[in-house]
Structure 1
Amino acid sequence: MSGSPTQPAVTSVRRADAGEGSGSVELRSISKSFGGVTVVKELDLSVRPGEFLSLLGPSGCGKTTTLRMLAGFEQPDSGEVLISGAAVQHLPPHKRDVNTVFQSYALFPHMSVAANIAYGLRQRRGIDRAEIRSRVSEALDMVQMTRFADRRPSRLSGGQQQRVALARALVNRPSVLLLDEPLGALDRKLREDMQVELKLLQSRLGTTFIFVTHDQEEALSMSDRVAVMLDGRIEQIADPYTVYERPATAFVAGFIGQQNFLPGTPADGGRAIEIDGGTIHPGEPVTTPGPVRVAVRPEAVRVAETPPAEPANALPGTVAAVSLLGDVLQYVVHADAGHELLARVPRRQAGRLAEGARVWCSWAPADVHVFPAEATPRDSTRDPIGSAK
């Protein structure tokens, strides 16, 4: 798929037996270890029928293992896996009402597109040739690949091959579609186009999608909810807006997007936080005892050559670098107190600040998030004192 994304044409391909609870997923206290190392730890998760849920996290967090236990490629050491209300943890993959799409499309090179899509149906009993032809035709139309039905995979682009892999999975009409980083092999523009098409397709089909990715933007742009994972557990599960604007932990704050982290100590009954070089006023009083980490997103940081009227939540410094990121200007500011701050300002609203300019960085109390100091924001783009990694 190249060029501007278009809305997928969806015909009558729907989940079979779409009764009450069909397409729901529930994991109850599932755990999995390999070689004595626990990679999923008593994880609980509920997915609503027809929901698009992403499992998001760094490499080794347990997201792919969780997906493989859902698919039946791995057996949990303990706990239950329920699909559409039925326990399936002891069933092999082919007896579960799910299909999986992988990053490697695994298309048969000697078969045409239509034959690849039909392959799974032909392995099942009770489906006659007319039904297979009808369902393959619907699936081809659904992913806009009808005119490529007779081509071999080697004559398709990466995006087209990904469409075939999706059609092959959806032609079986599963209650749940599992996707293991399926867009990872595509270039950025094609991947962004595919994100739009995949979300439109899921919304129109009503099939439950569970999507594994380490790409934060991908998860936020496509999902109804995002489950952020770390060390085999879910750190936070919520809609994309909540995960981004109200992170539950320092890890989530640092992993989703970018943050400036500043160490500090609560003062004035938690109504203020003392940091090197100034005072920060949070939107709500801090109840965390002892040292804390303050998190402020780069887009919340205002940069100006004159000091703000309110001295709290403001630090003076020097512009160390300026970068153009499309419609956004990014400033790296070395604060006088030693902090390194990242600020992102819409290009049309940004002043003409050059490297070496003296500036003030400030932000609103509502944009301040506070976490216990011991909660190290692993895998964030800024370290706990705001220095670039």
Structure 2
Amino acid sequence: MGLTPPRLELEHVSRVYDGQRVVDDVSLSLAPGQVTCLLGPSGCGKSTTLRIAAGVEGPSSGVVRIDGQVVADGTLTLPPEQRNVGLMFQDFALFPHLDVAGNIAFGLSVPKAEKAARVRDLLTRVGLTGYERKYPHQLSGGEQQRVALARALAPRPRVLLMDEPFSGLDNRLRDDVRDATLDILKEEGTAVLLVTHEPEEAMRMADQIALMRAGRIVQVGAPYNIYNTPVDKDAAGFFSDINVLHSSVKDRQASTPFGRFLTPGLVDDADVEIIFRPQHLHLDFDRKDGPPRETPERGSPARGHVLRARFIGNQSLVEFEMEQDRSVIRATIPGVFLPPKGTPLWLSLRRDRCFVFPCAHQTKVSSPFERDYPPHSA
């Protein structure tokens, strides 16, 4: 038996408007039951890619397949109703003149008894049993979102396409609705392509994240992998705050206040950036017996002075000016930690959570280095 084809496949898809490529050579595949988040900043081409997958518009070039069948190839474009895809958008787009049951049943071409059974089943699964005769204006935002989900799933689509469907909900409700939606989608076994600009939403919902920038997909992977092995500085910074140390290469190494880092593949005098996240810094008090010891895990400690410290909920954000080069470094510390301005502290960082990238005018990107650095020389 042959391998099951991807449920949805985009192959070298581009879309040109007025000579500008808003979608540029995008290739992506979704397996049955897989949730893929198309993640990126506003205006990067996410929604256009979703519309091409839906059949709302066609690609300028490239191929779209559903279950191995070509549904668009630059000349042919099957409309959405012939693709067996479900659509969900930001505004839910419920019909105000239809009650909840009528909204869910709209477009179902099955016998009346089967239609009624499908509506009842979906209302139970989205937690809205007894809401059949309510109208959209009588529902809360979260309830409207669940009705929209039930309507999109009613025809049992092979692919569900979702364009920022939770953006209209407040934060607390959004988390609950997202979790409930994910449970239902997994039960249905539908391939899902979800467009979002929120990294937290993508990390919470996705089996696979496709990070998009300026019309191109720059990295695809599982949430853990894409977070911990970013392809470049911008990819790392999209998921969280980052610290950036600037240096240049000499003898395949870059010197920083935290010691030297290997720079494989880069020539002498190449400019590099060492990237690490605030939560990966470790702090030690300035004791009379000198600085903390250098270790393979944390490298050389460097001393900084507190510029400001703020409590931001479940952690504290502390900013330092480093003694060696006056660079500003941010650290996040669990709980309450608010040292006075000017307090000297020693900082060290996890070497296995650092990344070395060439500056933008260079092309070679090194791998993250784990426990792979030469001893620091004073």
Q: 1:23 to 1:246 in 2, by over 3 A?
A: closer
Contact 2:316 2:337 in 1 (8 A): no
Q: Structure 2 matches for 1:1-389, cutoff 5 A?
A: 21=4, 24-89=7-72, 90-121=77-108, 124=109, 127-270=110-253, 273-275=254-256, 278-282=257-261, 286-289=264-267, 290-306=270-286, 307-310=291-294, 312-336=299-323, 337-347=325-335, 353-374=339-360
2:81 partner amino acid: H
Change in 2 beyond 3 A, CA 1:66/1:375: farther
Equivalent-residue separation in structure 2 for 1:77 and 1:159 (angstroms): 37
TM-score in terms of structure 1 length: 0.84
CA RMSD of aligned residues (A): 2.0
Higher relative contact order (CA 8 A, sep 6+): 1
In the TM superposition, residue 352 of structure 1 has moved relative to its aligned partner by: 5.1
SS in 2 for 1:371: strand
Gap runs ≥5 in structure 2:
363-378
Secondary structure of the residue aligned to 1:120 is: coil
CA deviation digits over 1:189-219, x for unaligned, max 9?
1111122112222222211111100000110
How far apart, CA to CA, are the structure 2 residues paired with 1:42 and 1:222?
25
8 Å contact kept, 1:249–1:375: no
Q: Over residues 339-358 of structure 1, what are the superposed CA-to-partner deviations in whole Å (9 max), with x where a residue is unaligned?
A: 121111221xx655233322
Partner Cα separation in structure 1 for residue 123 and residue 315 of structure 2? 40
Instruction: Indicate the percent of aligned positions where both proteins have the same amino acid.
Output: 38
User: In 1, Cα distance between the equivalents of 2:333 and 2:97?
Assistant: 52
CA contact (8 A) 1:228 1:235 kept: yes
Change (3 A) 1:22 1:200: farther
Which secondary structure state, in structure 2, belongs to the residue aligned with residue 148 of structure 1?
A: coil
Using a 3 Å threshold, how does the CA distance of structure 1 residues 327 and 109 change in structure 2: closer, same or farther?
A: same
CA shift, 1:51, in A, is 0.5
Measure, in 2, the Cα distance between the counterparts of 1:83 and 1:54: 18
Aligned pair count reads: 347
**Distance in 1 separating the partners of 2:99 and 2:312:** 42
Deviation of 1:303 after TM superposition, in Å, equals 2.3
Q: Is the Cα contact below 8 Å between 2:38 and 2:209 reproduced in 1?
A: yes
Moved more, 324-333 or 233-242: 324-333
> Structure 1 374/201 Cα, relative in aligned 2: closer, same or farther at 3 Å?
same
